[in-house]
């Protein structure tokens, strides 16, 4: 059995407006949820603004369907001076069966920013 990595950052219901022409949930929508989830972690740690600077890898492992509960889990991977690499795992819960499965994973790099939009040093809480 695959275990979840990280802490729950956001949860959202997959809606019909987020589908691709085949009727599955559009990958770009999933990536934007992952970006939001990683952003919440950095903003919480840095107490301010943060920007995505890179997305190093994204793997779409299984489709997401309308009505699935989409949960994004985040885990800090590597701390730089002003940046943080974050693993994001996306899991879905199928309400009808209660089944949970990992559908997407990726690594996002964020930079903490000061009020002028310049990189500022970041520390993980002890
Ligand atoms: C974030 C931003 C202000 C950083 O400015 P910058 O001049 O690149 O700053 P620096 O060169 O000092 O780099 C800051 C950190 O970002 C990292 N970084 C910058 N560009 C990167 C890239 N393309 N890939 C990976 N890391 C990068 C650096 O390694 C550095 O990390 P460290 O301090 O932990 O060692 C600037 O790149 C920017 O505005 N980018 C656009 C962000 C954006 O619009 N994102 C989408 C919406 S949120």
Digit-coded pLDDT (tens) for 40-63 = 999 999 999 999 999 999 999 999
Section 78-89 average pLDDT: 97
Looking at 38-42, 88-92, 122-126, which range is the least confident one?
Answer: 122-126
Q: Is the CB of 83 under 6 A from ligand 1?
A: yes
Q: What's the gap between Cα 13 and its chain centre?
A: 15
Q: Is the CB of 54 under 6 A from ligand 1?
A: yes
Q: ∠ CA 56-58-64 to the nearest 5 degrees?
A: 160
Tokens at 43, concatenated: 């903003």
Q: Model-level pTM? A: 0.95
Band (124; pLDDT cuts 50, 70, 90): confident
Euclidean distance between CA atoms 44 and 21, whole angstroms: 36
Measured from the CA of 51, which atom of ligand 1 is nearest? Answer: 48
Top pLDDT among 1 and 114 is at 114
For the chain, the average pLDDT equals 96
Q: Is the CB of 111 under 6 A from ligand 1?
A: yes
């Amino acid at each position: 059995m695959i275990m979840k990595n990280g802490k729950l950052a956001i949860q959202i219901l997959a809606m019909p407006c987020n589908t691709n022409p085949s009727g599955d949930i559009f990958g770009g929508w999933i990536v934007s949820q992952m970006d939001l989830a990683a952003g919440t972690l950095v903003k919480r740690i840095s107490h301010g603004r943060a920007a995505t600077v890179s997305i190093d890898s994204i793997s779409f492992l299984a489709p997401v369907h309308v009505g699935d509960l989409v949960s994004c889990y985040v885990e800090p991977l590597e701390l730089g001076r002003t940046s943080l690499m974050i693993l994001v795992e996306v899991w879905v819960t199928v309400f009808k069966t209660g089944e949970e499965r990992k559908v997407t994973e990726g690594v996002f790099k964020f930079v903490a920013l000061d009020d002028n939009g310049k990189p500022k040093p970041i520390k993980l809480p002890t």
